[in-house]
Amino acid sequence: MLEDKSQELTPISKLGEFGLIKHLTENFPVVQNSTKVSIGDDAAVIDSENQKVVVSTDMLAEGVHFNLGYVPLKHLGYKAVVVNLSDIAAMNATPTQILVSVAVSNRFPVEALEEIYAGIALACNRYKVDLIGGDTTSSNAGLVISVTAIGLENEEKIVKRNGAKPNDLLVVTGDLGGAYLGLQILEREHSVYLANPNMQPEMEGYDYILERQLKPEARTDIKKKLEELDILPTSMIDVSDGLASEVLHLSDQSKVGFHLYEEKIPMDESTIHTSEEFNLNPAMATLNGGEDYELLFTISPSDFDKIKNHPDFTVIGHATAEEQGNFLVARGSNQLIPLTAQGWDAFLNKE
């Protein structure tokens, strides 16, 4: 859990709740003009300056969303922020503030929370967001981190899930499937370690997919790139639960169907090679794996020429009439495979 096991660790009870919050948050600067009152008062104050306020929250629970057997605490803090900022980016808004609440058992010393908050601080600095509040409490069930993210945007620029129309093009940023394969490597090596603690983990050559799992990034950069191309998506969502699940969400909210082309789905070479190592179909890793935190969106067909050769974007399908349903068009054929959501569901899956 902590790199230096020889240091004398500080029990949380030594600081108490308010002392702990002050200790963990005293070095978080305020960088957003919209933050008027931050940590230290009963509530924070945000001045939206006539923009709409966009809010999202996510909770990460030990044993459900992460395994501390192989997830470093600093990475966990960073990722907890990123997954929430990704939701703000998926609304085409700019993230500005976060609130962080942590429930922790007495097996965690103060130094463990310092590691988590060091990761949170790195994310705040990277994405220029302010930590403006939160809470800490005790837990009888390990570690739970809840982050609420706040963003601002003019109403006419906010993109929801319900605007796709038939014939719109389905576009995704970056590449998919890497985070899922990174998780498979971590699970495999953790199992080997538990069976024989003297065995060294085999991580060489998996750097990219491990980073996709342990230290993902929110695509807050996409908003500016789309503005430069003079494109406003008609609908958008982030890829957190698997590509198939997100396509079906857009379908449900926009009342359209989709044809998704297997051969168009972007994947990194390391994702493909690792899929083969695990005897997995690489496309299945992208469809059902999740945690890529790329953005999936639709655009008008008239915007195709603006986006067709851009390195950050891949057109992977198109919208159809709702009654035509949702299908994966199989690679190398015109076979239509019904699209089903088999991705992450916290109430159906266990680590």
Q: Are 213 and 290 in contact (CB under 8 A)?
A: no
Phi/psi for 257 (5° steps) reads: -100, 175
What b/e readout covers 171-193, taking b as 16+ CB neighbours within 10 angstroms? bbbbbbbbbbbbbbbbeebeeee
Q: Tell me: is residue 130 an annotated ligand-binding position.
A: no
Q: 238: annotated binding-site residue? A: yes
Q: Would the annotation count 58 as a binding residue?
A: yes
Return all residues near 144 (Cβ < 8 A) that are at least 6 apart.
59, 60, 61, 62, 102, 103, 104
Residues 273, 136: Cα–Cα separation, whole Å: 42
Query: What sign does the CA torsion over 125, 126, 130, 133 have?
Result: negative
Question: Does 87 appear as a known binding residue?
Answer: yes
- What are the CA-CA distances from residue 43 to residues 55, 78, 81, 99, 160 (Å)? 16, 24, 20, 11, 29
Q: Rg of the Cα trace of the chain?
A: 21
Q: Is 344 annotated as belonging to a binding site?
A: yes
- 56 labelled ligand-binding: yes
134 is in an annotated binding site: yes
Residue listed under structure tokens 């190398």: 332
Nearest to 292 by CA among 314, 261, 324, 325: 314
Residue 241 is labelled as binding a ligand: yes
Residue 135 marked ligand-binding: yes
**Residue 168 annotated as binding site:** no
The binding site for substrate consists of 65, 291, 344
* Binding site members: 42, 56-58, 65, 87, 117, 134-135, 161, 238, 240-241, 291, 344
Residues of the binding site for Mg(2+): 42, 56-58, 87, 135, 238, 241
Q: Which residues are annotated as a binding site for ATP?
A: 117, 134-135, 161, 240
